[in-house]
Amino acid sequence: MSVRAVHRDEPDVDKLAEMFIRLALQRVTDARTARESTAAPSSLKPPVHR
């Protein structure tokens, strides 16, 4: 019985880094959108304490 090593190309680190950056930016955008949709509109003035 013999075992053969399978030689594969090296991973493209630049593409992997770009993918992770895009994924992180997408998650930030999604979180910001969710946060802004639950916040009060900015046109409302805060109550004035007298």
Nearest partner of 14 among 4, 22, 24, 6, judged by Cα = 22
C-alpha 24/C-alpha 21 separation (Å) is 5
pLDDT greater than 70 at residue 39: no
Confidence of residue 6 (pLDDT cuts 50, 70, 90): confident
The rounded mean pLDDT for the chain is 85
Query: How far apart are alpha carbons 26 and 10 in whole angstroms?
Result: 27
The predicted model scores a pTM of: 0.55
Mean pLDDT of 8-27: 95
